[in-house]
Amino acid sequence: MPALWTATMWLDDITPEDHSELGVNRLIWQYRGDQPRLQAFLHAHLDQLQSVEDVAFDVLVGMWPLTAVGEQLDILGRIVGQDRGELVDDAYRLYILGRIFVNRGDGQLPQFIELMEILGLETGLSIREYWPACIEVNAVSITYPDVVGDLVGDLTAAGVLCHFVHSDVAQSDTFQTSAVLGTEDTDADTGLAAVGGAVGGQLAGLREY
């Protein structure tokens, strides 16, 4: 997944300050000693500022896709145009990030790779272009192929045909053929043997956009 999405980014840089302590520490040295009235005056005003900042920070954290949960994620999803469906929070969070990326994309080939990296689906990924205007995206271990397919289709540029080939199993468990004629099963889980008969793995699904 790109570094862009792997950390809270700016949240680490804007953690709330303790404004009461900060205000007292900014007093010149002769007023930092036994000055209870002055310090009480500062705390009374600075605590109000603290409460405002604490609420603002809670809003930022609550409405940032990497930290939002539950209803906050639903709100973000509605804003960017990504339905939750049956997605749990952890999955929905990734697809919201994917939708944000798609909304800003223009369908260039590298963007399909970036999208799948955001979704954590880069393993076993292959993307090909075909003349005159066709792209094929092959992905494995897809838990929500319809959701991923919609994102891939929406990222595809106008006038371009997109084939989304997907499987919900790992690449090693997808259908293959025997590499050497005349041998027994090359892979007991996925191979189609020349002699031993069919023991093939799962066929991939296909969606066209």
| pLDDT over threshold 80, residue 169 | no
Does 93 fall in a domain? no
Determine what percent of the chain is predicted with pLDDT higher than 90: 34
- Report pLDDT for 65: 79
Does 84 fall in a domain? no
Does 96 fall in a domain? no
Over residues 139-152, the mean pLDDT reads: 90
Q: Which residue has the higher pLDDT, 39 or 15?
A: 39
Say if residue 117 is in the same domain as residue 206: yes
Say if residue 124 is in the same domain as residue 36: no
How far, in Å, CA of 98 to CA of 115, rounded? 6
Does 198 fall in a domain? yes
Q: Over the stretch 48-81, which tens digit does the pLDDT of each residue have?
A: 877 777 766 666 666 777 788 888 899 999 999 9
DSSP 4-70: GGSS-GGGGG-PPP-HHHHHHHTS-GGGSSS-HHHHHHHHHHHHHHHHHHHHHHHHHHHTSTTT--T
Say if residue 50 is in the same domain as residue 112: no
Local structure of residue 74 (DSSP, 8 states): H
- Report pLDDT for 35: 76
Does 86 fall in a domain? no
Q: Is 92 exposed, middle or buried (0-12, 13-18, 19+ CB in 10 A)?
A: buried
Say if residue 126 is in the same domain as residue 33: no
- Report pLDDT for 69: 85
Range of the domain at 135: 107-209
Does 88 fall in a domain? no
What integer best gives the mean pLDDT of the chain? 77
What total of structural domains would you count in the chain? 2
Does 123 fall in a domain? yes
Q: Which residue has the higher pLDDT, 102 or 204?
A: 102
Say if residue 119 is in the same domain as residue 43: no
Among 192, 178, 170, smallest CA distance to 125 is for 170
| pLDDT over threshold 90, residue 82 | yes
Q: Over the stretch 122-142, which tens digit does the pLDDT of each residue have?
A: 888 889 998 999 999 988 888
How far, in Å, CA of 180 to CA of 20, rounded? 76
Does 25 fall in a domain? yes
Residues with Cβ within 8 Å of residue 45, at least 6 apart in sequence: none
| pLDDT over threshold 60, residue 205 | yes
